[in-house]
Amino acid sequence: MPRPISATIHLSSLEKNLSIAAEVAHESKVWAVVKANTYGHGISRVYPALANADGVAVIDLNEAEHLRALGWRKPILLLEGFFDDSDIPVLDALNLTTVIHCPDQLRMLEVGARSGQLKPGSVDVVLKMNTGMNRLGFTPDAYRSARARLRAVSAVRSITHATHFADADDDKGVKNPLLVFIRAIGDLHGPVSAANSAGILWHSETHREWVRAGIMLYGGSPSGDWKDVSCFGLQPAMTLQSKIIAVQKVKPGQSVGYGSTYTATHAQRIGIVACGYADGYPRMASSHANHYAPVCVGGYATRTVGRVSMDMLTVDLTDCYGAEIGSPVELWGKNVPIDDVAAAAGTIGYELMCALASRVTVNVEN
């Protein structure tokens, strides 16, 4: 028998979440962001659920090539653009839309067009403006000049204005950077892409012609707090589950796990679960300083106790009536929001999705 831990990818949930993005931003087209192997869910696995997206957004050419090989014929956006002169011919060959965010990329595109590596009118460009994130993008002062140079490139078919907000998921919001963005664009024509998942859900003024749905597609919250998105009806696209493989009875004063970081204050039943940090479960979700990660055992809500180790973690079974060896354990999914587990580990759901280990068996259901 294989080790009992597995993950299940729910295609119907991803389809539902995509439809929510389209409904909330009902006047916009939707880029489905599938970078990082679709946030750890697997491009090949989730591909059937992407059919209603207007385009998909990736990070590198390998992801784009994989999607074309799977049969995707709609637009593909390179979110960081290309990285080398040798990438230029691939833009044409795979019919890609590319971000341009710096002078070096602009120069490479100009050279590629002049040398004949790109056919006239073959490339759609998303021109990135830095409105305060200070990662990628032309400054507002340099933006118009960059756009003028792009318009002079024979290979450029269209130009979309774009930016990315640093604080769309918290109280700072988008007001100031959006104002900078709008002022810099001024009377320039062309579609706009500004909203990520946080913008889609909470800032309708950012929707415009294109929105970029990322974490919300997978049922996670942009803010890291599930309560912030529960009203939208998002559904988790991944469930991580395992089973109880042993049960211990501990007395008051006895400790559990490495380092004896948890000491029982009363008699408890402790369940040992076949899941550890080598499976992608965060070690920092170990119980400490009155913090612990939620777990669901046989339908009962409970919590981790003691340290998460490489292959196992321990949970409190005291109030999980009927729980025994073989009882099902949900580590995250419908009953245990991944954002709550991430919060217990001091991180975000994005990281847990992306960190799912290759040794975990993955199943796909509609």
What residues are labeled active site?
35, 258
Dihedral pair phi/psi, residue 151, rounded to 5°:
-65, -25
CA quadruple 255, 257, 260, 261: dihedral, nearest 10: -100
Question: Where in 80-138 does DSSP place strands (E)?
Answer: 97-100, 123-129
Task: Say if CB 91 and CB 98 are below 8 A apart.
Answer: yes
The pair of structure tokens assigned to 166 is 């640093």
H helices, E strands: number in the chain: 11, 18
Distance CA 194, CA 214 (A): 13
Distance CA 366, CA 361 (A): 17
The pair of structure tokens assigned to 48 is 């059937």
Instruction: Render 252-320 in DSSP notation, one character per residue.
Output: TT-EESGGG-EE-SS-EEEEEES--GGGT--GGGS-BTTB--EEEETTEEEEEES---SS-EEEE-TT-
Distance CA 103, CA 270 (A): 59
Distance CA 22, CA 363 (A): 27
313 forms beta bridges with 273
Four-residue CA torsion sign, 287, 6, 37, 51: negative
Task: Say if CB 327 and CB 298 are below 8 A apart.
Answer: yes
95 forms beta bridges with none
Task: Say if CB 91 and CB 97 are below 8 A apart.
Answer: no
The pair of structure tokens assigned to 71 is 């049969």
Quick one: how far is CA 56 from the chain centroid?
13
